[in-house]
Amino acid sequence: MLHTVNKSPFGNDTLNSCLRMSTDGCAILLIEDGVYGATDGTSISDQVKEAMKTKSVYALKPDVDARGISTKVIDGIELIDYAGFVTLVADQKATQSWL
Amino acid sequence: MAQIKKFLYVNRKAPYGTIYAWESLEVVLIGAAFDQDVMLAFVDDGVYQIVKGADTKGIEMKNFSPTYSALGDYDVKKIYVEKESLEKRGLTVDDLLDLKWEDEDDDWAERDSIHIVSSAEMAAIMDDAEVVLSF
């Protein structure tokens, strides 16, 4: 399963819910304002790092670059482009968008 | 001349994901033409609006970071950022745009527009406003 999160983790519980209700081995892709969840040193970065032990976490690079946070991304989060997004969707049996 | 009022624009949304940040900036620039006493507040995800280093080529949207630098020229020189919001997001003042205004009473010396304030100080700033516009 691929999960996508497009909301900032600080405005509501979207990322929290995704982390809580996703299974080991799944892929989680942070897009749009969701990419703020990929930054280090925040109030939720420890939770993201914990999830990364069992889940693959990605962030969409164009969205990261647009927000000026490319130097703050947590080590181990893979930055992918739009083609990589398509590949992720194609490789997984289904996609759940946490809107 | 109409009475000058204290206008406060409160920004609480991240840029690009929604249109709020850009709309706010446009209203601030339009409002600046009316010679009011203008203050900007950045709290919660709003602090992301003034993070430097934005490159929007990949998402094919207008990068409006440079527009914030024009605020000083429109006499918008009181920009308050809540310290607690920065800390929660792992940010410091060094991550923010270097926004300046020129002091005509002191040989156009450059002064910082951005002031980092505590929640309590922000509360007082908000309480002091006569017109509040929220984005």
Tens-digit pLDDT profile for residues A16-55: 999 999 999 999 999 999 999 999 999 999 999 999 999 9
| CA A54 to chain CA mean position, Å | 14
pLDDT score, position B33: 85
Count CB-CB contacts under 10 A for residue B13.
22
| Residue B105 pLDDT exceeds 80 | yes
Three-state SS string across chain A, please?
Answer: CEEEECCCCCCCCHHHHHHHCCCCCCEEEECHHHHHHHECCCCCHHHHHHHHCCCEEEEEHHHHHHCCCHHHECCCCEEECHHHHHHHHHHCCCEEEEC
pLDDT-based confidence at A86, cuts 50/70/90? very high
**A40 and B CB contact within 8 Å:** yes
Contact B45 A11 (CB under 8 A): yes
Q: How far, in Å, CA of B11 to CA of A35, rounded?
A: 19
* Banded model confidence at residue B32, pLDDT cuts 50, 70, 90: confident
Please report, for chain B, the start and end positions of each structural domain, with discontinuous segments joined by +.
Answer: 6-134
Rounded Cα distance, A30 and A63, in Å: 9
Domain span at A51:
2-98
pLDDT at B129: 94
**pLDDT interval class at B1 (50, 70, 90):** low
Interatomic CA distance for residues A26 and A29, integer angstroms: 10
Comparison of pLDDT for A11 and A50, the residue scoring more:
A50
Q: Do A42 and B61 touch (CB under 8 A)?
A: no
Options 3.40.1260.10, 3.40.140.10, 3.40.50.300, 1.10.1300.10; CATH of B6-134 = 3.40.1260.10
Write the DSSP assignment of chain B as a string of letters: -PPP-EEEEEE-S-TTTSSHHHHHHHHHHHHGGG--EEEEEE-GGGGGGGBS----GGGT----HHHHTTGGGGT---EEEEHHHHHHTT--GGGB---EEEEGGGTTEEEE-EEEE-HHHHHHHHHH-SEEEE-
| pLDDT score for B2 | 72
Which CATH number does the domain housing residue A27 bear?
Answer: 3.40.1260.10
CB B18 within 8 A of CB B51: no
How high is the pLDDT of residue B16?
96
B90:A10 CB<8 A:
no
Q: pLDDT over 70 for what percent of chain A? A: 100
Q: For an interface test with A, give the residue of B48, B63, B82, B97 to mutate (most A CBs within 10 A).
A: B48
**ipTM value for the complex:** 0.85
Whole-angstrom distance, CA of residue A34 vs CA of residue B122: 27
Per-residue pLDDT, averaged over A88-97, amounts to: 94
How near does any CA of chain A get to the CA of B112, in Å?
A: 21
What does the block give as tokens for A30? 């942070």
Pairing of strands B109-112, B100-103: antiparallel
If you count residue pairs, one on A and one on B, with CB atoms under 8 Å apart, how many are there? Answer: 74
Mean pLDDT of B97-124: 96
Q: What is the mean pLDDT of chain B?
A: 95
Measured between CB atoms, does A66 come within 8 Å of chain B?
Answer: yes
Task: Give me the number of domains chain A comprises.
Answer: 1
Radius of gyration of chain A (CA): 12
Global pTM value: 0.92
Under an 8 A CB cutoff, do A67 and B14 touch?
Answer: yes
Task: Give the model's confidence band at B34: pLDDT under 50 very low, under 70 low, under 90 confident, else very high.
Answer: confident
- State residue B80's pLDDT score: 98
Could A11 and B51 be called an inter-chain contact, meaning their C-beta atoms sit closer than 8 Å?
no
The Cα of A25 is separated from the nearest Cα of chain B by a number of Å equal to 27
